[in-house]
């Protein structure tokens, strides 16, 4: 009876961890290939507008608009001031954006702000939308790179999205580990998926969609993780997201550990919620021949890497030979993944040195698990994360 219980536990750990490490292996392999082009022979005209959803972002909105103005001086910028109680709208207007006030206490999620911005921009004559968060700086080539990708035939695209550490954060191992994990999730995996012909993914900041995509797959995502939710709907609808690796958006990480814990819990809990609700539609898409949905299904059910490593540690005490072999294979995948993510940054040596703090980082992730579970059952609500002002 005891042996049966151990075997059941071993199988449970393997099933729990497998989607993560299979997806990591796919993305690692894909990084050795060039992302495919949309394949359109004749370029189409793209009239791009930028939509900036904002909730109490008075300290950062001017910097965001300024960097967008550098990237596209003639590109219309719509700032959706969603239930703001500060000076976000006034500062955005002074910076040269068109402000759309959205005051409705019943509409509490970011998805509502995006829908309002999309509808206004499309009604104003645009046929494509670029979403940029209100706490972000963008590369000078972001507008041009986005327009080029969409003109080539992509109906959805994602630019490189990373964290920009302040000088004092660069010296902190925990901050560097967070930035490294973020790069792995939002750069390495997206680039790897695109290299193998899968959909790159949507990360809520720096993604673009055409009017055609919004007509085929309306943006009705209202969960905490509205970006992941909408990505599953695009893939299920046969619209892949293409990768823009030579242009970026960068956001400041939270300035306190408490704010970071809250943000991480919302993201992880939101993904769990989306995974439960999106699985049927992704399975149906696979059964209808949309093979790209296979990777998307593995992605939504993937554990965060730190939790996957914790699952591997649990295998040590179980006397199950095949489980140990599974754990060794997953550990090798993890080493390749972390090394590759570090090499994609500007200071790979510093990132690898920061790995000495990984045990503390994983302990912290374990401690916020109850908060993650609560967020997985929560309704969508826009909770602003406190950050330092972005630095150019």
Q: Per residue in 125-161, pLDDT tens?
A: 999 999 999 999 999 999 999 999 999 999 999 999 9
* 135 in any annotated domain: yes
Across the range 295-305, mean pLDDT stands at: 91
CB 119 within 8 A of CB 190: no
CB 188 within 8 A of CB 340: yes
Q: What is the pLDDT of residues 31-43, one digit of tens each?
A: 999 888 887 666 8
Q: What is the pLDDT of residues 72-88, one digit of tens each?
A: 999 999 999 999 999 99
* 278 in any annotated domain: yes
Q: 377 pLDDT band (50/70/90 cuts)? A: low
pLDDT at 379: 56
Rounded distance between C-alpha atoms, residue 318 and residue 288, angstroms = 40
pLDDT beyond 60 at 388: no
Tokens of 329: 């294979």
Q: 219 pLDDT band (50/70/90 cuts)? A: very high
Least confident of 101-115, 128-142, 373-387: 373-387
pLDDT at 391: 46
Across the range 104-130, mean pLDDT stands at: 91
Rounded distance between C-alpha atoms, residue 364 and residue 316, angstroms = 21
Query: What share of the chain in percent tops pLDDT 90?
Result: 64
pLDDT at 94: 96
Task: List strands edge to edge, sheet with 48-54.
Answer: 98-102, 77-82, 48-54, 128-131, 207-210, 156-163, 242-251, 136-138
pLDDT beyond 90 at 167: no
* 383 in any annotated domain: no
Mean pLDDT of all residues belonging to the chain? 89
pLDDT at 45: 94
pLDDT at 392: 44
CB 61 within 8 A of CB 95: yes
pLDDT at 342: 96
* 193 in any annotated domain: yes
Across the range 49-70, mean pLDDT stands at: 96
Reduced to 3 states, what is the DSSP secondary structure of residue 8? helix
Across the range 159-170, mean pLDDT stands at: 90
pLDDT beyond 90 at 287: yes
CB 219 within 8 A of CB 115: yes
Rounded distance between C-alpha atoms, residue 318 and residue 362, angstroms = 21
Tokens of 161: 């999205």
pLDDT beyond 80 at 186: yes
Rounded distance between C-alpha atoms, residue 213 and residue 219, angstroms = 9
DSSP state for residue 254 in the 8-state scheme: B
| Domain containing residue 345: CATH number | 3.90.550.10
Residue 276 structural domain: 2-375
* 390 in any annotated domain: no
pLDDT beyond 50 at 206: yes
CB 315 within 8 A of CB 7: no
CB 61 within 8 A of CB 92: yes
At 54, phi and psi to the nearest 5?
Answer: -140, 130
Among 287, 320, 302, smallest CA distance to 20 is for 302
Q: 294 pLDDT band (50/70/90 cuts)? A: very high
Across the range 110-129, mean pLDDT stands at: 96
Tokens of 321: 């030979």
Tell how far CA 127 is from the center of its chain.
Answer: 24
Rounded distance between C-alpha atoms, residue 79 and residue 100, angstroms = 6
pLDDT at 138: 98
pLDDT at 196: 95
pLDDT at 373: 67
Burial category of 85 from C-beta neighbours within 10 Å (exposed 0-12, middle 13-18, buried 19 and up) = exposed
Instruction: Return the exposure string of 336-365: e unless at least 16 CB atoms fall within 10 Å of the residue's CB, then b.
Output: ebbebbbebbeeeeebbebbebbeebbebb
Across the range 245-253, mean pLDDT stands at: 93
Tokens of 59: 């300290």
Q: From residue 104, give the alpha-carbon distance in Å to each of 22, 53, 81, 225.
A: 43, 14, 11, 20
Q: 2 pLDDT band (50/70/90 cuts)? A: low
Among 14, 22, 21, 11, smallest CA distance to 305 is for 21
Please tell me the total count of domains within the chain. Answer: 1
pLDDT at 74: 95
* 113 in any annotated domain: yes
Pairing of strands 128-131, 207-210: antiparallel
* 392 in any annotated domain: no
How many of the other CB atoms lie within 10 Å of CB of 210? 23
Across the range 350-358, mean pLDDT stands at: 90
pLDDT at 64: 97
Work out the end-to-end distance of the chain between its first and last CA atoms, rounded to an integer number of angstroms.
62
pLDDT beyond 80 at 192: yes
* 388 in any annotated domain: no
Tell how far CA 104 is from the center of its chain.
Answer: 27
């Amino acid at each position: 009876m005891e042996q049966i219980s151990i075997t059941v536990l071993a199988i449970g750990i393997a099933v729990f961890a497998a989607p993560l490490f299979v997806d990591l292996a796919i993305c690692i392999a894909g990084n050795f290939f060039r992302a495919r082009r949309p394949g359109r022979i004749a370029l189409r005209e793209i009239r791009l507008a930028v939509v900036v959803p904002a909730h109490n972002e008075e300290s950062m909105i001017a910097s965001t608009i300024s960097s967008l103005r550098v990237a596209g001086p003639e590109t219309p910028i719509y700032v959706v001031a969603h239930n703001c109680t500060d000076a976000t709208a006034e500062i955005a207007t002074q910076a040269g954006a068109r402000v759309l006030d959205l005051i409705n206490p019943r509409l509490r999620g970011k998805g509502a702000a995006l829908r309002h911005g999309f509808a206004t921009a499309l009604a104003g004559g645009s046929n494509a939308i670029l979403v940029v968060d209100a706490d972000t700086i963008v590369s000078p080539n972001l507008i041009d790179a986005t327009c080029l990708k969409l003109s080539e035939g992509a109906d959805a695209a994602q630019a490189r999205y990373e964290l920009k550490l302040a000088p004092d954060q660069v010296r902190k191992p925990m901050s560097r580990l967070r930035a490294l994990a973020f790069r792995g999730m939002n750069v390495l995996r997206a680039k790897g998926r695109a290299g193998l012909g899968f959909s790159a993914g949507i990360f809520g900041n720096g993604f673009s969609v055409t009017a055609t995509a919004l007509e085929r797959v309306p943006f009705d995502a209202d969960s905490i993780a509205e970006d992941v939710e909408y990505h599953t709907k695009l893939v299920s609808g046969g619209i892949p997201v293409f990768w823009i690796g030579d242009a970026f958006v960068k956001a400041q990480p939270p300035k306190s550990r408490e704010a970071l814990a809250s943000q991480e819990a919302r993201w992880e809990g939101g993904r769990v919620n989306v995974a439960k609700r999106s699985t049927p539609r992704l399975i149906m898409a696979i059964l209808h021949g949309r093979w790209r949905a296979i990777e998307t299904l593995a992605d939504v059910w993937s554990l965060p890497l730190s939790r996957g490593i914790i699952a591997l540690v649990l295998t040590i005490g179980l006397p199950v030979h095949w489980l140990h072999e599974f754990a060794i294979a997953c550990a090798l995948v993890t080493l390749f993944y972390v090394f590759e993510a570090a090499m994609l940054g500007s200071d790979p040596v510093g990132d690898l040195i920061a790995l000495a703090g990984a045990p503390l980082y994983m302990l912290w992730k374990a401690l916020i698990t109850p908060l993650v579970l609560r967020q997985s059952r929560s309704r969508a609500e826009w909770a602003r994360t406190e950050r330092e002002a972005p630095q150019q």
